[in-house]
Chain A
Amino acid sequence: MIRVLIVDDSKQSQFFIKSMLEREEELKIIGTISSAANAEMYCLRGQVDLILMDICTADNASGLTAAAKIKKNYPRVKIIMATSMPEHSFIKRAQAAGCEGFWYKEYGDTDLLDVVSVVLDEGICYPLETPEIQVGCAKSTEFSEREYEVVRLLADGLSRQEIGDRLNISPRTVRFYIEELKSKTGYDDTMKMVSDFVEQKLIINNLN
């Protein structure tokens, strides 16, 4: 019997995920909680085998941060990250945290039970790529890593100088990246472009 903990800030999502997983007899749902920050407590007595962890959870707690902490202290616990946001960096951050699986709630055709089954049988299950989202005239897959970093910091409200300091590049180079982004997306206004990135959920900051 695999003991599963569901972490999701939405009661409805908790219910639906629970009802999906309960179809599998091998899985036993031992709890549903709303904040990722509380997930570690469940692992203290070794009661959990698998955690299905939402990324943006209650208390503004990031599932990714909690997952990294849990994997560090309890490497035996398997974690599948779940999100309905196509945020560019989530998959990489989940891999860096050591999570075994990743499931897009609303994108792609992969069923949750398939992901769970692959994780339990083979160990790892990640989508091949992030969902392709349209930002202005460009697709989300057309942007480079550096461009995403620049947009992310712009969304954080940082100036060109501050972004340059953070990324160890000159403000002139930051300006070059912004111009590149504007040229790809077709936006004239930087802030409108950043808003679009945020509205398309490609950039999610402010997660603890």
Chain B
Amino acid sequence: MNFMELPTYCITLIMGIGSFIFGGMFFLLMLQVMERRINWRHVVTAVLILIYSAAFIFLRFIVANRKDAALMLTYDVVPWPMYVILEAFMAGYTIIALNNEIRFEYKQFRKSNVREAIDNLPNGLCFSDQYGQPVLMNYNMVEYAQKICGYRLKNADTFWRDLLEKEPAAGVRRLKTKKPMPNQLTFVLPDGSVLQVGRKQLFIPHLGPYIQTTISDVTMLHELYHQAEENNEKLRVQRREIRELTDRMIRTNHEEEVLAHKIRIHNEMGQMILPTRQMLLGHATLTEYKSIGKQWKQIAEKFGEIAGQEAGNARELLQEIFDIAEQIGCEVHMKEDLPASLVSDAWIRQAIREGIINAVRHGMATQIWLSMETNGDAYTLHLMNDGVLPKGEFEMRGGLKNLSEALRAKGGTIQIHTTDKFELVIHVPKNMLKGE
């Protein structure tokens, strides 16, 4: 049947449907594009296409009685340049829109892309559901899990439980770190490589809980860690040596001072030799005799001092405290000698000093009685004075308070009793003292 012999309404209907399909296709294509990237050009194009389609159908209905011109009606009614422009525009637009669509689709991530990406990861990675059933897993995960446990990973939960509770594959050993991290285990393989297994709970909105299991090759990191540990140990030793050196420097300086004094005496002696020689040869007057004699006496005194005992031992330091107390008018009575371990503790000497200072400064004390008790594994020192008792409740302040806190930190205590006389009670556990 000849298409041209069809009734006018059929041709109009076919062309109308064709126009609708043509226009609709453009419209749908454009809506799809607009969904992603809406801009004014798309909107204008959409409107133009709609107008074009509507006009096309409308014209067909107007010329419906001209059956022979049905296929050419557009050229007859619409001026040809307009028609050509519209057609060209739509053709051009179609090409651009299709090209954009192809490019857009090409850039989209698909399951295969994700799969390929995680397979290329240097780590083993497995995402599983909350029951441990793997959802996504890469080749490295399969390989690493095989190396550690000796079997292919089928369930992430079972795999983790096995790592925690069971022995790993033959030749593989679990590495115990100083600071174990939760949900992280480290294994050393027979070839020396180190693998770290990590597990993390994830919650993805709209999808629910997932478990992420990773296995990373941390061999290089492990070696660097060991190297850093060794370096740190060396640094610790060096720092300790520096501290010791600092301590020694004070002593060394002291010795240098003594040496400087000795050199001074030596120089003085050197200066005295010539006048003494003159004196012995009988070339000195009586006044010079006396002067030379006096200077030699002074040198001898200095020698005596140099030969004297060095200050600084613990018992002397304690005695110095008692001597000063006596010089400022406060006599210290000691029932018995304190044990060496107690005397040599700087804190105890400081406590006794603070006790005396407080008694003299605040209580105007002139007598202090120092006694000691041994109670099993502790010493108790009593420092009682005849000073004025404090009015109201006594509160430790300043040096005494600091000392009390320092002693408490070491396990000792300081108490104040003000019932009859002012009494400072120092309780010292023996294990706090050196030499006990």
Residues of A within 8 A of B (CB): 9-16, 19, 31, 33-35, 37-38, 40-42, 44-45, 47, 56, 58-60, 69, 84-85, 105-106, 154-159, 191, 194-195, 198-199, 201, 203-206, 208
Contact = CB atoms under 8 A, between A and B. Distances in A.
B91 interface: no
Contact of B346 (A40, A47, A59, A198): A59
Contact of A191 (B242, B247, B308, B325): B242
Given A9-B311, A11-B311, A40 B328 contact: no
A38 B239 CA distance: 32
Contact of B324 (A11, A42, A84): A42
Contacts of A159: 235
Interface of B: 235-236, 238-243, 245-247, 249-250, 253-254, 256-258, 260-261, 264, 302, 305-306, 308-312, 316-317, 320-321, 324-325, 327-329, 346, 349-350, 353, 356-357, 360-361, 399
Contacts of A19: 302
A58 B312 contact: yes
Given A198-B242, A205-B246, A16 B254 contact: no
A199 B310 contact: no
Contacts of A10: 254, 257-258, 310-311
Contacts of A198: 242, 245-246, 249
A195 B350 CA distance: 32
B246 A203 contact: yes
B311 A41 contact: no
Contacts of A194: 242
Instruction: Name the residue in A12, A41, A69 with the highest tally of chain B Cβ atoms < 10 Å from its Cβ.
Output: A12
Instruction: Name the residue in B247, B257, B316, B327 with the highest tally of chain A Cβ atoms < 10 Å from its Cβ.
Output: B257
Given A10-B257, A16-B261, A44-B360, A206 B328 contact: no
A11 B346 CA distance: 21
Given A12-B305, A201-B253, 16 more contacts: A16-B264, A16-B302, A31-B327, A33-B320, A38-B353, A41-B360, A56-B250, A58-B317, A59-B317, A85-B253, A191-B238, A191-B242, A194-B242, A195-B241, A198-B245, A204-B249
Q: Is the interface of B mostly helix, strand, loop or mixed?
A: helix
Contacts of B246: 155, 198, 203-206
B254 A154 contact: no
A37 B350 contact: yes
Contacts of B327: 31, 42, 47
B261 A12 contact: yes
Contacts of B305: 11-12, 15
B328 A41 contact: yes
Contacts of B356: 41
A203 B250 CA distance: 11
